[in-house]
């Protein structure tokens, strides 16, 4: 008789982290379904959850450590691989100093303890050079909000009367968010979507404002202009809880609806409609900003302007508006206080001081140049885990060159990716179903234990890897915990919640009740304690003090050489960055990459559906088949290509040398390109 068992954990095929039941037969996973008692997903799952079984048991899964030799990759015992890596780290440190060593944590590992243990290792070893996918994700938005409100709040969709999705497409990117939005819409909330494309969510909208890429700031300022002109902003809130109103009121003057229309292509009447719809619903206006606005040269200021708009609507930390999440008390794994290393010159911190001040992140694009030029000092070794930057960072050719020129490059992954191929050592990693970690669902303020369901001998979990390496390079005392559960026990200790409680409650444990308007007693977590329409902190760093709108380059100086504006990275439901192309049923559904084009542009280029075109920017070029969209699905002059396809890698053309000046984010959503038909 087969031994059957069911275990609860969290899905991590994306960062939504839905609660799941995993069914096992004789220790082998046979099915996954939703675990209904968890408040986050209430039993619902998206199509990716079950594909975790295909991923874990995939025939191409790496199972043994590999070392690159002149005859290609050769298997090597795990302990020998770790010994050799440790020896090389020590000798590189001896020769070039500790800061020549770095690590990179990718999106696949999430953002809690897996990130912190990498940071801990680095500081214990003596180097500040921590890199992650957050050089191009999240921080742009986080900074925009933090500068104005002190933190990035979550939308309170279900109590909202007006929902605005700004450069986000939750039906593909955030399935649980979509459910909440649809429920609110049924209760009468008006949905506004700001997106150059008619995305899946834009199809559901009451108003779809198809802005030109990178012109969001003009639209926000236009809304602000209307609110002030019609005196429909929250005067009491503004007087008591904000600073800098006169300055922004003066700046907003020029953003008349007509000016905004010329800048953004959103009709002037629609600008007025948006402002009135928001004013009528205020303060129950819930705005969510996605990835769309942050991959631009003016991203943070455009996002900051939206955060200012919350202030004017009085929607900050308000029921039906945007709520500030409370964190759980916990022990901090990082060593930034015990061993501060800013004096060692973290890569990118001088150029993008906010990135280091707010997040202690180093800048991945600067790192590529540093590796290649040793400026301002040599960066010679990297341990990379849960990322595939040869596909996901801009300017892939340069990324490849940089990784190839390292003295030591170690990659931990489940598969032999384009990045892993460049490594000296490839180590098989445990998947999310093979490790134990905690996750916080900020929206419901619960903490949940994600549990190890199975394991493979050589596929180490993240903690075991850093622990074993630390003990080999003489910093073992910083990694005293014997296992992940022990580490979790230490992390959660100050919360008063125990590991046993988490084990007994797979539906999660609520760590703090949801409260609104906390600012009444606590103020805001900004330097002034108020909402900062104007930022003295930024001014002192040499930036403009208010979020001025700067038109994107393609508008300021249009290029005849590169006349099209390429948006990249619009999510597809089935694929996650460079992941899951190897899952057969997904590949059958979406078999190849395409460049999405307006029919007029296709006619201009003389191409039809399925023809191959060459897309070229100043950085590089790539070839890809054409998909002609309906005329209302994409703006004329714009193209869209989703990243993550090795057969058609759009990051061969994205810029790694044009940045948002505050976040350091690369320009990936208004890339000037030309398009030519390829005759094969």
Q: How far is the CB of 500 from ligand MGD (least distance, A)?
A: 26
Strands 242-243 and 285-289: unpaired
Select from 54-62, 132-140, 235-243, 378-386 the region that touches Mo ion (CB under 5 A): 132-140
654 binds, among Mo ion, ligand SF4, ligand MGD, none (CB under 5 to 8 A by kind): ligand MGD
* 66 Rama sector, left if φ>0, alpha if ψ -120 to 50, beta otherwise: beta
Q: Is 45 in the site for ligand SF4 (CB under 6 A)?
A: yes
Among 18, 162, 286, 675, binds ligand SF4 (CB under 6 A): 18
Residue whose CB is less far from ligand MGD, 379 or 593: 593
643 binds, among ligand MGD, Mo ion, ligand SF4, none (CB under 5 to 8 A by kind): ligand MGD
Q: How far is the CB of 315 from ligand SF4 (least distance, A)?
A: 27
Q: Which residues bind ligand MGD (CB under 6 A)?
A: 14, 106-109, 133, 136-137, 166-170, 172-173, 194-197, 199, 211, 213-214, 216, 290-293, 295-296, 385-389, 391-392, 412-415, 417, 429, 431-432, 567-571, 573, 575-579, 643, 650-651, 654, 668-669
Residues 6+ apart with CB under 8 A from 230: 275, 276, 279
Encode 476-494 in three state secondary structure.
Answer: HHHCCCCCHHHHHHHHHHH
CA 104 to each of CA 21, 132, 215, 231, 357: distance values in angstroms, whole numbers, following the listed order: 31, 5, 32, 49, 19
Size of the site for ligand SF4 (CB under 6 A): 12
Whether residue 380 contacts residue 353, with contact meaning beta carbons closer than 8 Å, is answered with no
Whether residue 610 contacts residue 623, with contact meaning beta carbons closer than 8 Å, is answered with no
Residue whose CB is less far from ligand SF4, 169 or 242: 169
46 binds, among Mo ion, ligand SF4, ligand MGD, none (CB under 5 to 8 A by kind): ligand SF4
d(Cα 38, Cα 455) in Å, to the nearest integer? Answer: 25
Q: DSSP secondary structure string, 172-225?
A: HH-HHHHHHHHHHHHTT-EEEEE-SS--TTGGG-SEEE-PPTT-HHHHHHHHHH
Element (H, E) at 248: helix 245-252
Residue whose CB is less far from ligand MGD, 38 or 412: 412
d(Cα 511, Cα 94) in Å, to the nearest integer? Answer: 45
Residue whose CB is less far from ligand SF4, 11 or 210: 11
Q: How far is the CB of 201 from ligand SF4 (least distance, A)?
A: 15
Q: DSSP secondary structure string, 267-312?
A: -HHHHHHHHHHHHHHTT-EEEEE-SGGGSSTTHHHHHHHHHHHHHH
d(Cα 193, Cα 82) in Å, to the nearest integer? Answer: 50
Q: Is 108 in the site for Mo ion (CB under 5 A)?
A: no
674 binds, among ligand MGD, Mo ion, ligand SF4, none (CB under 5 to 8 A by kind): none
Q: How far is the CB of 107 from ligand MGD (least distance, A)?
A: 4
Among 8, 9, 14, 506, binds ligand SF4 (CB under 6 A): 14
Nearest alpha carbon to residue 101 among 125, 118, 84: 125
Whether residue 372 contacts residue 405, with contact meaning beta carbons closer than 8 Å, is answered with yes
Nearest 5°: phi and psi at 618? Answer: -60, -25
Among 81, 137, 168, 583, binds Mo ion (CB under 5 A): 137
108 binds, among ligand SF4, ligand MGD, Mo ion, none (CB under 5 to 8 A by kind): ligand MGD
Q: How far is the CB of 173 from ligand SF4 (least distance, A)?
A: 9
d(Cα 555, Cα 563) in Å, to the nearest integer? Answer: 11
Select from 76-84, 129-137, 351-359, 580-588 the region that touches Mo ion (CB under 5 A): 129-137
β-sheet bridge partners, residue 156: none
| Residues in contact with ligand SF4, shown as a per-residue x/- string from 24 to 43 under the rule CB under 6 A | -----------------x--
d(Cα 547, Cα 217) in Å, to the nearest integer? Answer: 8
Nearest residue to Mo ion, scored by beta-carbon proximity: 137
d(Cα 667, Cα 659) in Å, to the nearest integer? Answer: 6
Residue whose CB is less far from Mo ion, 11 or 137: 137
Among 8, 16, 53, 380, binds ligand SF4 (CB under 6 A): 16
Select from 9-17, 23-31, 459-467, 547-555 the region that touches ligand SF4 (CB under 6 A): 9-17
Q: Is 49 in the site for ligand SF4 (CB under 6 A)?
A: yes
| Residues in 170-189 that interact with ligand SF4 by CB under 6 A | 175
Select from 44-52, 90-98, 119-127, 285-293 the region that touches ligand SF4 (CB under 6 A): 44-52
d(Cα 119, Cα 113) in Å, to the nearest integer? Answer: 10
Q: Is 48 in the site for ligand SF4 (CB under 6 A)?
A: yes
d(Cα 448, Cα 396) in Å, to the nearest integer? Answer: 37
N- to C-terminal Cα separation, the chain = 58
Residue whose CB is less far from ligand SF4, 42 or 159: 42
Q: How far is the CB of 250 from ligand MGD (least distance, A)?
A: 26
Q: Is 46 in the site for ligand SF4 (CB under 6 A)?
A: yes
Q: Is 469 exposed, middle or buried (0-12, 13-18, 19+ CB in 10 A)?
A: buried
Select from 130-138, 226-234, 333-341, 412-420 the region that touches Mo ion (CB under 5 A): 130-138
d(Cα 351, Cα 367) in Å, to the nearest integer? Answer: 12
Q: Is 17 in the site for ligand SF4 (CB under 6 A)?
A: yes
Nearest residue to ligand MGD, scored by beta-carbon proximity: 569
Residue whose entry in the numeric block shows the structure tokens 């199509």 = 47
311 binds, among ligand SF4, ligand MGD, Mo ion, none (CB under 5 to 8 A by kind): none
Residue whose CB is less far from ligand MGD, 432 or 511: 432
d(Cα 425, Cα 84) in Å, to the nearest integer? Answer: 10
Among 13, 266, 426, 438, binds ligand SF4 (CB under 6 A): 13
Residue whose CB is less far from ligand MGD, 286 or 341: 286
Q: Tell me which residues touch ligand SF4 (CB under 6 A).
A: 11, 13-14, 16-18, 41, 45-46, 48-49, 175
Q: Tell me which residues touch Mo ion (CB under 5 A).
A: 137
């Amino acid at each position: 008789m087969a031994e059957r068992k069911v275990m609860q954990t969290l899905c991590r095929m994306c960062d939504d982290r839905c609660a799941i039941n995993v069914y096992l037969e004789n220790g082998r996973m046979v099915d996954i379904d939703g675990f209904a008692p968890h408040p986050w997903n209430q039993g619902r799952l998206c199509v990716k959850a079950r594909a975790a079984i295909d991923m874990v048991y995939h025939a191409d899964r790496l199972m043994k450590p590999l070392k690159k030799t002149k005859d290609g990759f050769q298997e090597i015992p795990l302990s020998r691989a770790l010994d050799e890596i440790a020896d090389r780290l020590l000798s590189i440190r001896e020769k070039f100093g500790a800061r020549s060593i770095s690590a990179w944590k990718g999106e696949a590992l999430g953002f809690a303890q897996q990130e912190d243990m990498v940071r801990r290792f680095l500081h214990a070893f003596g180097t500040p050079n921590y890199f992650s996918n957050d050089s191009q994700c999240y921080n742009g938005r986080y900074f925009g909000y933090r500068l104005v409100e002190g933190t990035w709040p979550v939308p309170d969709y279900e109590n909202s009367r007006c929902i605005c999705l700004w450069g986000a497409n939750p039906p593909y990117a955030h399935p649980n968010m979509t459910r909440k939005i649809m429920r609110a819409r049924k209760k009468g909330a008006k949905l506004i979507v700001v997106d150059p494309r008619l995305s899946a969510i834009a199809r559901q909208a009451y108003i779809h404002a198809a802005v030109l890429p990178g012109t969001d700031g003009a639209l926000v300022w236009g809304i602000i202009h209307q609110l002030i002109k019609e005196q429909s902003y929250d005067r009491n809130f503004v007087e008591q809880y904000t600073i800098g109103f006169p300055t922004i009121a003066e700046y907003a003057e020029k953003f008349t609806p007509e000016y905004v229309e010329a800048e953004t292509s959103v009709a002037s009447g629609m600008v007025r409609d948006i402002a009135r719809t928001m004013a009528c619903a205020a303060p129950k206006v819930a705005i969510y900003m996605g990835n769309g606005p942050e991959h631009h040269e003016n991203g943070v200021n455009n996002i900051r302007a939206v955060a200012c708009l919350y202030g004017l609507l009085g929607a900050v930390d308000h029921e039906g508006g945007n709520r500030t999440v409370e964190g759980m008390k916990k022990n901090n794994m990082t060593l930034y206080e015990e061993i501060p290393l800013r004096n060692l010159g973290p890569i990118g911190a001088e150029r993008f001081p906010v990135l280091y001040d707010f997040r202690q992140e180093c800048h991945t694009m600067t790192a590529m140049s540093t590796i290649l030029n040793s400026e301002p000092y040599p960066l010679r070794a990297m341990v990379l885990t849960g990322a595939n930057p040869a596909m996901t960072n801009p300017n892939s050719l340069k990324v490849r060159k940089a990784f190839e020129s390292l003295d030591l490059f170690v990659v931990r992954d489940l598969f032999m990716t384009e990045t892993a191929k460049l490594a000296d050592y490839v180590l098989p990693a445990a998947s999310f179903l093979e490790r134990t970690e905690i996750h916080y669902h900020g929206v419901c303020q619960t903490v949940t234990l994600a549990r190890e369901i199975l394991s493979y001998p050589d596929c180490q979990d993240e903690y075991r890897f850093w622990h074993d390496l630390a003990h080999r390079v003489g910093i073992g005392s910083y990694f005293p915990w014997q296992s992940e559960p022990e580490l979790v026990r230490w992390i959660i200790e100050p919360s008063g919640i125990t590991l046993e409680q988490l084990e007994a409650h797979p539906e999660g444990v609520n760590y703090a009740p949801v409260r609104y308007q906390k600012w009444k007693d606590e103020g805001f977590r900004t330097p002034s304690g108020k909402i900062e329409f104007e930022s003295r902190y930024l001014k002192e760093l040499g930036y403009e003090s208010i979020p001025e709108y700067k038109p994107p380059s393609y508008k300021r100086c249009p290029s005849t050489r590169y006349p099209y504006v390429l948006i990249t990275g619009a999510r597809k439901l089935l694929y996650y960055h460079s992941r899951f192309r190897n899952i057969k049923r997904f590949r059958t559904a979406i078999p190849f990459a395409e460049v999405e084009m307006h029919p007029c542009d296709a006619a201009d280029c003389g191409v039809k559906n399925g023809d191959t075109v060459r897309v070229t920017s100043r950085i590089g070029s790539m070839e890809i088949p054409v998909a002609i969209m309906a005329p209302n699905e994409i703006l004329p002059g714009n193209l869209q290509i989703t990243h993550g396809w090795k057969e058609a890698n759009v990051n061969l053309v994205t810029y790694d040398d044009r940045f948002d000046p505050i976040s350091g984010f690369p320009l990936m959503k208004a890339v000037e390109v030309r398009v030519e038909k390829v005759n094969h």
